Structure 1
Amino acid sequence: MSVIQAIGQQNIKAEFAHRLQGFLSQDPDVRELFSGATSMTTVVNLLAALSFQEGDARFQTDALDEELVFSLFFDSFYLLFIKELEHNNLSQAEKLILQLSRYYGELMAKRIVQAETGLGAEELSIRAELLKRANCVLQAWEQLDKRYAQQRGNSRNMGR
């Protein structure tokens, strides 16, 4: 890859991260997660870097919606899930991506279950895949939640 191509890809990721930040900041529940030390800018840039693939049409669109955003979080979630299981050493920004993945997974599952019937076969197929991915994220999150609870219990028992 040439330097010019690398710079072009960085520019695509940066522009997309800026649009993503605008989209995420519209949701008060999402904004609430950013009251700590890690900024939303850090998280969206990391998310763009983790989920970017050359030629990915998602990064070219100006119209962001929950489905597209969830697909980005889904891609990043499994990379970070594996990192957490193997190394137990995520940064705060990475942990926020896991939390946001769960948030959007719950949102997708809820919306798909409440969706109107009468959809075409293609739309049903897309929604079924989204629901499958949302359930995967939620099940993996349950595993992480159990692991975190166990770690907290172990740290409390260290003084005994």
Structure 2
Amino acid sequence: MPIREAVAGDWPRIWPFWHRIVAAAETYAWDPRTPEETARALWMSPAKRVYVAEDPTGEVVGSAYLTPNYGGPAAGVANAGFMVDPDHTGRGVGRALAEHVLREARAQGYHAMVFNAVVETTPAVALWKSLGFTVLGTVPGAYDHPRHGRVGLHIMHKSLD
């Protein structure tokens, strides 16, 4: 699956699934009513390296970003975000993006990656664990899930050394 660094012109192809995922309010702690202009600033920030995954026809089916989680002396810890078009889940897009971003993080000199708010009911938890992430802790009842009620947010970590 081709994965490449995103360009500004990719945003119109990311926005439809970005909006669908955030509006569902099941996986991201962003306002489900986030307007497109704000969403673009969140996802395509110049501080982030953004990637897109394309299917064989060139359709963008997923996107991810890589950024420092902290600054200063702790800037060696990365953070990332991942979204797969719901019409393309179950096809390995998320795993391919995750493996790509982990390689990029190592190549860019990060020594660890942390996710600050992984909704404990999301299937991504199993993916992250299969890639060597551990749950450092869970903030109980921190996320108001539309189907499951209040659920926890995991803080997940992986060493890249």
> Common fold, TM-score beyond 0.5?
no
TM-score, scaled relative to structure 1: 0.35
More helix by share: 1
Larger radius of gyration: 1
